[in-house]
Structure 1
């Protein structure tokens, strides 16, 4: 062997291979998810007076029908990022304490025993929004999310991922139905980035609705390259996991865009024809836009 030349794997002894493997493992940094709540803000929620506990006599004595009660609430910024690898994309969302409470109640219904030692921090009393209390609450909620993610059954639960994406996804589809495609894209990109961080081993199925909606937005914004790219990313998991509502719609969009862009689409066209011939009379074919909107009606 020439001087300075590294030995091939075939020339290494078993002991040397084991040592190399050990070194490689030592150099690896485990990748895990981090949640940071760097800030919060007070938002005012307007409530009708009768929503606040009032006796019937008091309500009848005073006409509160046109009055409102301003209830200050804390909205927490949550930053999601992955550690152990270079992650230049720090995605942030905003959630209120009531959102944490809803998540906790849903998880308790499924995993009460597993969450016996995972407690949701108590709610701050109205008006008790001193900087010290707010900081303590932010750190407590941050720790709460970390403990949830460390619990395997919770990490794989749909409720956990929906906590981080459902609000943005619904808002995106409201905007999409209103024809505000650029605004919808901003929400959908946030959804997609968070989904890819939360459960990368399951992202192939989780991201299909977001990718499909992104393709629809780009199509209606007359940006065929981006629309084709998003639809192309969504198609493999749709094929692999048999997500029927999306398959024909994605293929139809890809064929139309492919002709427009001068891409080879013969195989896609054959696949679409085979699906339509095989399921004729059994399936009502929708456009991808119809599929996307129907999911969130």
Structure 2
């Protein structure tokens, strides 16, 4: 199509009587051959999908072949129809316009990109022997589709964990769970490869179905099934000073919370807000203990953005109990890494001027170690008894 456009331009210029010799096939535009090669190369690189836009409608090159001799004028607007002279059209003019059309086509394609959704993929299933108990542990990756997900999150669950989730969801959301199917128990052959493979696919489909239903996707029971075990494990590891191990659990919990949209739902659900802020604050403590001050300050700042009080709330001394410990941590961290701390320093000073003793408050680590992490059913233990007597998150 690019060569047709150039021929069209030449014929237009010839009709203006610029040079009679050109009508006899003498080429006075040596650059035109280079332009022709360049556009053909771009078309080849795009695999024949070179498109132009006319009146907001994308047309392929194949459609242009049958659109008649006047179709080329739509690409260049009025330039050909008004008979521009050779002084008004440079040899590089069509190339620039071609680049512009390609950019417009790319923008249009980007607006029609595939929407993001979550994919639940069982990547491993292993048989575990624990004392007198034997079970299959499924490793599930939670991945964003539609984008390159650099931070997939991982959970490990067994059949009884899924069964408990299903039971709780049916109790709390009976109507929405009406059409959701759960893989039944088997009396035998639970550990053969065929059964494990079938259950792996069934669990993928089960989680995908739950996540596709808006009411269940936002349900605290569904959300906590993914991240709460890691959050509690991180807290226990912090209590015994194993900050590097705690960091792994907390970061995985944060990735799960982000993928599931917990940071957005935290404004609507009190328990989600508690868990979200606890995780950010725990990461501040772990990074600080590991001398990763930049990461600590970044998560501290993120938590403060979520709980920064309004002026009315400040005057009435109604603010989150984590506010003062986070402000104190952020001011110290910002000072150490030479980052601007004036906003949070001023807020801390304003709280002190209102008559609150900021020196008598527990520090961030003390607050987090004492915090009790409940689930939506009011359970506070990080482990619960399974039906077979074994322990599971």
Please classify the TM superposition score into its range, dividing by the shorter chain length: 0.7 to 0.9
SS of match in other structure, 1:112:
coil
Distance 1:138 1:266, change over 3 A: same
Query: What residue in structure 2 maps to residue 105 of structure 1?
Result: 167
Shift of 1:270: 1.6
Query: What residue in structure 2 maps to residue 155 of structure 1?
Result: 217
Shift of 1:296: 3.3
Residue number among 218, 224, 229 corresponding to 2:287 in the alignment: 218
Query: What residue in structure 2 maps to residue 44 of structure 1?
Result: 129
Separation in structure 1 between the aligned mates of residue 337 and residue 358 of structure 2, nearest angstrom: 32
Separation in structure 1 between the aligned mates of residue 206 and residue 189 of structure 2, nearest angstrom: 23
SS of match in other structure, 2:308:
helix
Query: What residue in structure 1 maps to residue 335 of structure 2?
Result: 259
Bigger Rg, structure 1 or 2: 2
1:236 aligns to 2:308 (yes or no): no
Shift of 1:277: 4.0
TM-score, L = length of structure 2: 0.60
Separation in structure 1 between the aligned mates of residue 144 and residue 319 of structure 2, nearest angstrom: 29
- Determine which structure has the larger helix proportion and give its number: 1
Distance 1:95 1:200, change over 3 A: same
TM-score, L = length of structure 1: 0.78
Q: How does 1:47-66 map to 2 (within 5 A)?
A: none
Query: What residue in structure 2 maps to residue 246 of structure 1?
Result: 322
CA RMSD of aligned residues (A): 3.1
Q: How does 1:68-79 map to 2 (within 5 A)?
A: 70-79=132-141
Would you say how many aligned residue pairs link Structure 1 and Structure 2?
A: 263
Distance 1:99 1:277, change over 3 A: farther
On the 8 A contact 2:234/2:245 being kept in 1, the answer is yes
Shift of 1:23: 4.6
Query: What residue in structure 2 maps to residue 288 of structure 1?
Result: 364
Separation in structure 2 between the aligned mates of residue 209 and residue 203 of structure 1, nearest angstrom: 15
> Which structure has more RCO (C-alpha within 8 Å, separation ≥ 6)?
1
Shift of 1:25: 7.5
Shift of 1:282: 11
Shift of 1:276: 3.8
Structure 2 residue runs of 5 or longer lacking an equivalent are 1-78, 80-88, 267-272, 311-317, 374-393
Shift of 1:135: 0.4
SS of match in other structure, 2:322:
helix
